[in-house]
Chain A
Amino acid sequence: MSTKVVIKQSTYFDSVSLMSLSTKANQIEGVEQAVIAMGTDMNKEVLKNVGLLTPELEAAKTSDLMIVVKAATDELCESALMAIEELFKKKGGSKSATEIKYSTIDSAAASIPEANLAVISVNGAFAAREARKALENDLHVMLFSDNVSIEEEIALKQFAHEKGLLMMGPDCGTAIIGNVALCFGNAVRKGNIGIVGASGTGSQEVSVRIHDFGGGITQLIGTGGRDLSEQVGGIMMLDGIKALEEDEATKVIVLISKPPAPSVQEKVLAQVKSCKKPVVVYFIGGEETAVLEAGGHFAKTSKEAAIKAVVLAGANEDELNKRALNWPLIEEVRAKLTPEQKYVRGLFCGGTLCDEAMYLAMDKYEDVYSNIQKKADYKLKNIHESKAHTFLDMGDDDFTNGKPHPMIDPSTRIARFLEEAKDPSVGVILMDFILGFGSHEDPVGVMLPAIIEAKAQAAKEGRHLEILGYVLGTDLDTPNFDEQVKKLMDAGVTIASSSTNAGLLAREFVAKGE
């Protein structure tokens, strides 16, 4: 055991600093005991009690700083003394005053008068409460959280409606307000088309297609998936249409939803009828007649919705590259597939993308199964086992329970993909890759090894495995759209130019004997 003493004459530190230094010194590795203190009688008494008082320390004056270190070896003592010297040095360059952190919406709203919107993504159990606080503070709300009860949703939306505020969500993943994408969204051009969407990826898809066709958007209002249910009654879609109608920059309005409850569709179409601006209605799997009767513009697919919107907004239809279906490609793929490769397997991150592809397949085939099928007979009993044509929304609660969404964590989809690739009855596997704010930083990259492996395995077994990819994104998005596409093509993946074309190509690839 070794003890070293350093006495610094006429060096003053206050007792609190010295306590702090001593505490840190005792944490230095190898230090048995360290005392840093002024040479007062009381401190000498302490040193005496722990058996460290030497004649040298005894002689220290009240104004002298005493440093005593006890360690196993001389070397350890020396290194500890050097470490203690470091402790005395100032940490240098104090950090700039940090941003004040607020803990509640109330205090943040009170302190930031320019705040106008709350983006809420806390656990569903607490989300409604926070949303209510935001509305009470006159903030518009984007409620990303799911698992909020429908009663809470109704109460929040009625409250927002009374106050003239936007209440987007719950379970609303996408919005673009004032050219700023909130949560999940793509970098799309500013323009004159306004969107109200009850479906997240559906709205993303239409906004991206509008951009692709040279148009742009004013606002994208996400309402959350339940807005057009019987109970909620479309409160936010109705308010959204009204706001876009009053918005000078908006020339055309697009509505996107899964099929609404009939009574709600009636309300929405009544508002479309009275709206002074042209309204394109894309209710997935919806009926044309009612829309036309209301003076709306009916769209059967997301692509059609985008084309109608840009044309109504002023684009020349003849000059649009509508990216027609590539029939020679379809023939080529059909020729590669064996007669038993009859089925499509769609593995989706985006719920509406899944829905659109599924509805297109249902137009052609009977046996279309899914975890989100409306028809009970075709709803998968066991979601882990595909049947005939199967379209899986892997972002649905069945798959995400306790796990992150596949747009963030792709592991579940990778595993399922490898399984589907082994099935000799599968002709084509369709997958979406969603770019933009909130998404994975390299959605293609994480899937690529599995794609290459599956392709190689199928080749080894002497069968062609057609993999069809759709990359949802614009040339302004991060990660880079072209690079993502190139990586897929290099791996032998066929690329669809839109959600609609993805669905059409998939169903046509596996068509037999036409």
Chain B
Amino acid sequence: MLYVAVAAGSFRRYATYRAATAAGLITNTAFGFIIAYTYLALWNQRPHLGGYGPAQALTFAWTGQALLSVVMIATGGVDELQDRIRSGDVAVDLYRPADLQLWWLAADLGRAGFQLVGRGLVPVAVGALAFPLALPDDPLTWGWFLLSAALGAVVSFGLRYLVALSAFWLLDSSGLAMVSGLSCMFFSGMVLPLRVFPGHLADLAQLLPWAALLQVPADVLIGARTGGALLRGLAFQAAWALALLALGRLVQSAATRKVVVHGG
């Protein structure tokens, strides 16, 4: 119950930054147009590149803009937690009768939920007005997409939590956060759908955790994953989510043993 309240509070907190949300929406929409046109140029030359048709490729581009801020592609860590670790405020958090990882997970899911509503719907709607998108008619597919996007948000948190915890050892984890953000940008499919990557790089990239952030949810939405492939995709995301959360828990217990609180 506590964690639901944390998530709801986080949702409300992000909902108050209205000008920032509007500015973000304009940016997402502008980038959506640019990427959509470059994909069109690419798919005009190779109509079945990566197994997608032009409409599916366009939908992929707009889904990427819709999910960008939901799964925090290009952002390295949990900035606030990193700052709290560096300043020592984390000692207060550890003293609370709540689990550190679950607390931040709840807060992050609240944020993701707001971003999905605040910054996800409009780009897809604008994209659908301007281009022939391959959006599903079946409400069930939309449901699977939402589940897949939620799993993507958990995997994203799992990765960023590890980066943030590294501040216990590195003090300044911004360098690592940058490297993590870059990997995320490249291996999530944001730069180019992973299926379009050449040869073995395409196969490898689809096994890495970053594929859970955008590639799998987008494939679910555009109908490139149905039946068994759909379930395998969701299982892939869930497995990475559990593995990363478990690893985070391990690192967390090692880190908390390291913390020495100076009284005064």
Tell me if chain B binds chain A. Answer: no
